Amino acid sequence: MMPASFLKIQKYLHEQLGAACSDFKVHAEGKEYSAASFRLADFTIEFRVAKITPTKIGQFVTCWKRGGSGVTMPYDVTDRIDFFIIGVVKDEQVGFFLFPQKTLQVHNIISDYGKGGKRGFRVYPLWDTPDNKQAIATQSWQKNYFIWMEPHKNIDRAVLQKIMIG
């Protein structure tokens, strides 16, 4: 079953880009974060929904795969994933991050041919105001990939196209 947040984002992407989602697959192991994959036009997408944590500003999301030996590991640049979409919700605020694989590689979230990478990371939507140096720096680069859907439905499709085309 497709999560409600995915359906909202799917509708938004279709309205803004005219592109349909296909080949939707739910990842049972990541159901706590609504983990799924799908195609958007010619792009391969990994999807997650971040979670609000009780003690820190921002939201946390997992981003891993299970290796051949059964151990969890970060996604790698060799995985055929073009973008990671991370849905975020807080009260009436709804948005998503549209991270190109290369961006997550540069920021050491996905591994570079088996080196580095993380199994989870924090995201900082624009409605959050981080209060420490590292979180502020993280939000600074993440904001370039953030789409604020609700209540701000006036996002120019050029923002999406810039992220997707580069």
- Look at 149 and 130; give whichever has higher pLDDT: 130
Distances in whole angstroms, Cα of residue 121 to Cα of each of 8, 40, 41, 109, 132: 23, 24, 27, 7, 16
- Mean pLDDT computed over 62-71: 91
* CB count in 10 Å sphere of residue 147: 22
How would you class 77 by CB atoms within 10 Å of its CB: exposed for 0-12, middle for 13-18, buried for 19 or more? middle
- Mean pLDDT computed over 98-109: 97
How far, rounded to the nearest angstrom, does the alpha carbon of residue 77 sit from its chain's CA centroid? Answer: 16
Query: What percent of the chain has a predicted confidence (pLDDT) above 70?
Result: 95
Tokens representing 42 are 């010619």
Domain count within the chain = 1
| CATH code for the domain of 117 | 3.40.1350.140
Model pTM greater than 0.95?
Answer: no
Q: What is the domain range of residue 151?
A: 4-165
Residue at token pair 């995985």: 79
